[in-house]
Structure 1
């Protein structure tokens, strides 16, 4: 009955208790596969600046065969730092495609962090050289940490991590986070850090190129996270002309990702590697780039996973939501 309808709420603490990295990886893998197979749709992205200084966006999509429909309202509010809060904010809503009624509202911050890290891990699994031993990461924030964490999970020989900060200063908390898991060192020479690394991860606000194009050696793989809005970038001019480019969604990457700066660059969607539609065919001297803009299907498959688990375990709040 309509008067018996319920709305499930899953807050920050409940999400963090339910999120399991291995399960998130499988959900993200499914999202990319559904996209490749044409079963999962990604709708046009909304991404707009606000007079408050924030950026507000909506990513939405569906999987009609699975009755999966929803969106993530998210963005970046830098002033939150002054309030002692996280500048990235996200809320996910799952909707019943038969009625249009909301089914579940979920705090999306931890989901966004984890699903982006999982996507980065899949990119490394599919594209980085298996014998990679060294990594350079630009940034030391939440996303930089989760990207490095997944890199350590999937690259068995990875043992050296160099990090570069915006202000050129050491970040003791970043080093402590990975203490005992790898050799961590701060680098003040950006180009040298890139040249000496097998894998490069860029996880910054995307304010401009982070290093020179000639610093990238043959055989390097790059996961690029920070360019997710028109005008943002982390890679230098000319680099995309030298690389084999992989994206999560071709249209979205050309609109808001690194690919916006060279939209005519040939690219392959990562889902096509997962489904086997196209081979990675990576050669030892190839420079590969994974332009990670984040697609709605990642959020929806992970949100569905959490919704199901929360209902099974009672790890959520249920409200009467009659109509």
Structure 2
């Protein structure tokens, strides 16, 4: 066996600058289409609550045509906030599918944030009314920010944004990040904010319904991020029953996404829409929901281009890894 094999390590300072929006969107789009064509496999998801109060998960898969195999170990540790840390933690590993040898281990936090933001952006492009100008965002954390960034980037008109947070108070840092791209302010009433919006983004820990179902008006598009574990939800009862539902993966959505609360309702995988195997012509009064649980293939396609980029640019740290 070779004794001079190397393992490439890519930390946050290498990963973050390489995550350009256009490349990430292209990689995520490719992941959805590969999934639609069943040209890439996703393995059963591990998602378990821990005695520490955290949630630990593993998403893995492979793309045979690309000789790509890997997993992401990730989860949510809410107590990290008290220590000044990020509650979402993720690490991605790529392997040689011919030998099982690890090729690269990289920081997965920024990748998870970027690929989830790009997925929400692709869903918005496909499903939201393109004359949308009013956005309501639940949450002011990392994922709320990236979802709003993609929405403002992709919508052709200048938008008005209302945001809802736990305290109900103004969040100066959140507003400062967007004030030059939109008119933004904290919502006085969450139900009124939903009723007055064309697009609703829910990016919270998924602890329960965030608003009343009657607040959702005809023509609204909802991007739902926070329900990714058994028992989590952000939507109230009766919203899904009124909506055209789109998901990244039907099985995952029905087990850990918003669809776990209405598993018998029909839904469409977004990859089928992007691949052109199904069509959707939005009526002005349609309510659309994109229930995102996150695909391993998204992590793999993004991680692959980062790995190739690092090799080309001689980035990261290479360590001996004999086998």
* TM-score, normalised via structure 1 length: 0.99
Conserved? CA contact 2:158–2:181, under 8 Å: no
1:18 lines up with 2:5 in the alignment: no
Residues of 2 paired with 1:78 and 1:27: CA distance? 29
Structure 2, gaps ≥5 residues long? none
Cα deviation code 1:143-168 (max 9, x no counterpart):
00000000011111141011011121
Pairing of 1:79-228 with structure 2 (within 5 A): 79-228=79-228
In the other structure, the counterpart of 1:62 is: 62
1:239 lines up with 2:239 in the alignment: yes
Conserved? CA contact 1:135–1:158, under 8 Å: no
Shift of 1:282: 1.4
Pairing of 1:304-323 with structure 2 (within 5 A): 304-323=304-323
In the other structure, the counterpart of 1:259 is: 259
Q: Which secondary structure does the structure 1 equivalent of 2:174 belong to?
A: helix
Conserved? CA contact 1:273–1:280, under 8 Å: yes
Shift of 1:170: 1.2
Residues of 2 paired with 1:155 and 1:280: CA distance? 19
Conserved? CA contact 1:163–1:187, under 8 Å: yes
Shift of 1:64: 1.0
Q: Identify the range of structure 1 (304-313 vs 1-10) with the bigger mean alpha-carbon deviation.
A: 1-10
Shift of 1:96: 0.6
Q: How many residues align?
A: 323
Q: Which secondary structure does the structure 1 equivalent of 2:112 belong to?
A: helix
Q: Which secondary structure does the structure 2 equivalent of 1:200 belong to?
A: strand
Residues of 2 paired with 1:89 and 1:188: CA distance? 32
Structure 1, gaps ≥5 residues long? none
Q: Which secondary structure does the structure 2 equivalent of 1:3 belong to?
A: coil
Q: Identify the range of structure 1 (110-119 vs 164-173) with the bigger mean alpha-carbon deviation.
A: 164-173
Residues of 1 paired with 2:306 and 2:21: CA distance? 12
Q: Which secondary structure does the structure 1 equivalent of 2:3 belong to?
A: helix
1:277 lines up with 2:264 in the alignment: no
In the other structure, the counterpart of 1:78 is: 78
Residues of 2 paired with 1:146 and 1:157: CA distance? 18
Conserved? CA contact 2:138–2:144, under 8 Å: yes
Residues of 1 paired with 2:86 and 2:164: CA distance? 21
Conserved? CA contact 2:247–2:292, under 8 Å: yes
Q: Identify the range of structure 1 (50-59 vs 76-85) with the bigger mean alpha-carbon deviation.
A: 76-85
Q: Which secondary structure does the structure 1 equivalent of 2:156 belong to?
A: coil
Cα deviation code 1:176-226 (max 9, x no counterpart):
010111000110211100010000000000000001111111000000000
* TM-score, normalised via structure 2 length: 0.99
Conserved? CA contact 1:43–1:59, under 8 Å: yes
CA RMSD of aligned residues (A): 0.8
Shift of 1:4: 2.1
Residues of 2 paired with 1:38 and 1:232: CA distance? 28
